[in-house]
Structure 1
Amino acid sequence: MAITRTIHMHDGPGGPFESMAVGDADAGLQPGILFFPNFFGTKEWDFAKAEVLAGLGYKVLVVDYYGQGKRGTDMESSGKLLQEFMADRALVKRRVLDALAELKALAGVDAGKLGTIGFCAGGKCVLDLARAGGDILAGVSFHGVYDPPPFPNASITAKLLICDGWNDKLNPPEAKVALCEELTAADVDWQFIAYSRTGHGFTANGTPLNEDRSFGFQPDTDRRSWAAMTAFLTETF
C-alpha cells in the first residue's frame, strides 16, 4: 500500500480552492470520503487523519472550504474566517455540493459509494450536505454545530452519525434535541451519541480540556467516536 497526497485545485464562488486528495492510487475503485476540517481550515492534522482513513480502504478529499491561502492561525483569525463563510448558508450549500462533485471526479473513487466526515464547522458542513440532498450514503459529524439553514431541506437520503460532547456549550441540550427532532421528521436513519465528561473540540489533541469539560481534547471520546465512525462506515459500504 502506497498512500499519497496530491493537491487538488478546483474553482467555484470564492475560489480557487486548494483541497488535498489522499489515497492509494494502486488500490483500484474504492468508496470516496469527503473530509471537512474544523474552523482552522485544512492543515497537517487533517491530512494525517485522511491517511488513516485511506489505510482503511477509502479515497479521501480533504476539503478547502475557505479558499486558497485562507487559513486560520489562531482562534481569532479562524473565527473571523468561519463567520464570513457561514454568513451565507446558501453559499455553504453551494460549496459543499461542489466539493462532492470534485470527490466524484477523482480517479479511483466509486461514485456510487460516497460518504463524508467533518469536525466542528466541518460537522456543520456534513449536515448541510445531507440537508442539500447530496447523494452520499453516510455522514459523520464530530462535535459539529447543529443549527439548520434558513431555507427548506431537500430530501435527506444519507445515514447520519452525530458524535457529540454532552457538555458542549455550542450545542446545549435543546440544540441536540432539536437536531434529533429535525432528522426524525425527515425520516432519516440517524444515530446520536452524546459522550459524558466531553465538550466541543474533543478530537483536538493538544488542546487542554477546560475545568468544566465544555471544550478541549478528551482522549477517551476521541478514541470511542473514531471507532464508532469506523464501524458505521464499514456497515454502510
Structure 2
Amino acid sequence: MKIVVALMAALGLQWFVMCSNSNAAVKTESVEYKDGKTTLEGFLAYDDAVTSPRPAVVIVHQWMGLTDHERNSAQRLAQQGYVAFALDIYGKGVRPGSPQEAGKLATQYKGDIKSFRQREKAALDFISKNKKVDPKRIVIIGYCFGGTGALEAARAGFPVVGAVSFHGGLSTPNPQETKSVKPKLLVMHGAIDPNVPLPEVEGFMKEMNDAKADYQFIAYSGAVHAFTQKEAGNDPSKGVAYNEAADRRSWQAFMDFLHEVVPVSK
C-alpha cells in the first residue's frame, strides 16, 4: 500500500511539474522601432509566464544582418528567463544578399562609429521602455560585426552592465579615447582567427587595461572567425568556420557571465 501511495505521489508531482511548465511559453515577435526617421525591425523573445521586470539581453547581428542565428539565440535566452531583443543596424528591409553586400554595409558602419553606436543606442532606448524589462539590468552581446558593436556600446558608456563579443573585431578607430569602461566584459575569440590577428588582440588588451576595465578574454584553440555559426562551413583554412567545441564552450561561458552579472530571479 505504501508503494502505491508513493507512486501516486510521484505521478502527482510529475503532473504538477508538467502543468507548471505548460503555462510558460516563449513568445516571439518582429517589432519596429526608430532611429530618427529611419525605421528598424528587430526581433523580440520572452517568456510570457514571467510577470515581473527581468534582465534583458540585446543582440547585435553579424554582417549579414538579422538572421535566424540571432533569432535562435534570442529564443534560447528567453527560455532562461531573459527578455531578448535582436536589434537591427541596417534598417527595415535592408538585408545583404551576398557576402560582398554584407562587407560594404559592415564596412560603412565600422567606418562611421558614431552612426554604429547611435543604432545601438536606439535599440537600447527602445527595449529599456518595455514593461517586462528592468532597465538597470541590460547586457549587450554580438557576433562578428556585432561583437565589435557590443564592445563599442561599452566604450560609449551606454547604460548596459555587461557586453559580450563572440568572435568579434576588437579594434576601434580611436582607442586612446577609451578613458574608462564601466560594464563588465566577456570576449570570446578564435585562437587562430586570421581576421583578428595577435596585434589587434594585444591592442585591445592594452586599451582595456588602461581603461581599468573588468574583462575576461577566452581564446578557443583551433577556432577561427564565426565559430558559432554553422552556416560558416567547416573549413578553418578559409578563415571562417563553425567549431562545435568552441560554440558549446562559449555559450556556457556566456551563461556563467549572465548568472554573475544579471541573474534571473527564481
TM-score range, shorter chain: over 0.9
More helix by proportion, 1 or 2?
2
CA offset digits 1:173-230 (Å, max 9, x no partner)? 1111111111111111100001110100001113223253732100000000000000
The alpha-carbon distance between structure 1 residues 140 and 37, as it changes in their structure 2 partners (threshold 3 A), is same
Which residue in the other structure is 1:4 paired with? 27
Larger-Rg structure: 2
Question: Structure 2: 5+ residue runs without aligned partners?
Answer: 1-23
CA contact (8 A) 1:47 1:62 kept: yes
Question: Structure 1: 5+ residue runs without aligned partners?
Answer: none
Instruction: Report whether the alignment pairs 1:227 with 2:252.
Output: yes
Percent identity of paired positions between Structure 1 and Structure 2: 29
Instruction: Report whether the alignment pairs 1:172 with 2:197.
Output: yes
CA distance in 2, matches of 1:33, 1:211: 30
CA offset digits 1:93-138 (Å, max 9, x no partner)? 2111221111201230011111011000000010000000012111
CA contact (8 A) 2:224 2:236 kept: no
Alignment RMSD (CA, Å): 1.5
Instruction: Please state how far the C-alpha of 1:236 moved relative to its aligned partner.
Output: 1.0
Instruction: Report whether the alignment pairs 1:59 with 2:83.
Output: yes
Which residue in the other structure is 1:207 paired with? 232
CA contact (8 A) 1:209 1:218 kept: yes
Query: What are the residue-to-residue correspondences of 1:1-237 with 2, within 5 Å?
Result: 1-13=24-36, 15-28=38-51, 29-150=53-174, 152-153=177-178, 155-212=180-237, 214-237=239-262
CA distance in 1, matches of 2:81, 2:236: 38
Q: TM-score w.r.t. structure 2 length?
A: 0.85
Q: Report the residue type matching 2:223 in the other structure.
A: T
Secondary structure (helix, strand or coil) at the match of 1:212 reads: helix
CA contact (8 A) 1:33 1:103 kept: no
Instruction: Please state how far the C-alpha of 1:79 moved relative to its aligned partner.
Output: 1.1
The alpha-carbon distance between structure 1 residues 211 and 46, as it changes in their structure 2 partners (threshold 3 A), is closer
For these two proteins, the number of residue pairs brought into alignment is: 237
Which residue in the other structure is 2:19 paired with? none
Secondary structure (helix, strand or coil) at the match of 1:206 reads: helix
CA distance in 1, matches of 2:41, 2:77: 20
Q: Report the residue type matching 2:43 in the other structure.
A: M
The alpha-carbon distance between structure 1 residues 197 and 110, as it changes in their structure 2 partners (threshold 3 A), is same
Question: Stretches of 4+ moved more than 6 A in 1?
Answer: none
- Which shifted more, 150-159 or 216-225? 150-159
Instruction: Please state how far the C-alpha of 1:91 moved relative to its aligned partner.
Output: 0.8
Which residue in the other structure is 2:16 paired with? none
